[in-house]
Amino acid sequence: MPPAEYQAEMTRIRNGINTVPDLSRRLQDDPDNVDLLVTLATKVETMSGLKAAISYWEELFAKENASIAQHSIATLKMALFHAEQNKDPETLISFVNNETNTEVLPQAYSALRRFYQKSQDNEAEAEIYRRHVDFMSGINKIDAGFLNGYAWRMTQLDLNLENALQRVNQAVELLAEDEKARDKAQIMDTKGEVLWKLGRIEEAVVVMDACIKLQPEDKYYQEQKAKFLAPS
């Protein structure tokens, strides 16, 4: 943080404003305040993990005055908690397959993807990541960075490469004309990597030449081109 912002944050904490004890006391005085309960649950989870916060999420789940979105968030947290405790993704899978709240579903896809990544289930991770991208595209909340992240991860897993190429091409199309050269090169680099993984070496080299033109002083792109041209 910048010094002034950091000082203000330290002053807030010293004065006990919006700390866990402060939020807990306020919630005791106003037990039906679901927004306050969400704030407390989120803060505890951020500080100490989901296990420490799960009782608050369960309390939120039982609140009749919670909004549909708040109820969905609580349900997701409980599904994630049980998946982690049981080392079994079934509760998260069920949530993703049955939840209709499009504001909460992206968090569920991300949680399930992280679960598979942590358990090193590469094929399941690749499949749920593909579904996540399809979902975000379907609700028109897709951006170049998200597509790029998906495509790069697929190159690491050596899975869904044809689909990754389609999505990184979509990312390139989404780039604005005035996009920074550095950002353009990063996404085009992903395209080059996908093409290389697919064995389309000449096309990969053409893409990397474009990256080098955009970022001539960055040795990384020169190294990428050399990698593509190296005998297999």
pLDDT score of 37 more than 70 = yes
Q: How far is CA 54 from CA 79, 80, 120, in A?
A: 10, 10, 25
Q: How many CB atoms lie within 10 A of CB 55?
A: 11
* Amino acid 215: pLDDT: 94
Reported as a single tens digit per residue, the pLDDT across 183-222 is: 999 999 999 999 999 999 999 999 999 999 999 999 999 9
Domain 143-232 classified CATH 3.60.20.10? no
What is the reported pTM? 0.88
- Every domain of the chain and the residues it spans: 143-232
Q: How far is CA 63 from the centre of its chain?
A: 28
> In the prediction, which pLDDT does 178 show?
64
Shortest CA distance to 51 belongs to which of 26, 27, 78, 18?
78
Amino acid at 135: F
Residue 179, both tokens: 């996009």
Q: Which long-range contacts (CB under 8 A, 24 or more apart) does 47-53 make?
A: 47/20, 50/77, 50/80, 50/81, 50/84, 51/81, 53/77
pLDDT for 181 beyond 90: no
Of 185, 190, 174, which is closest to residue 210 (Cα–Cα)? 185
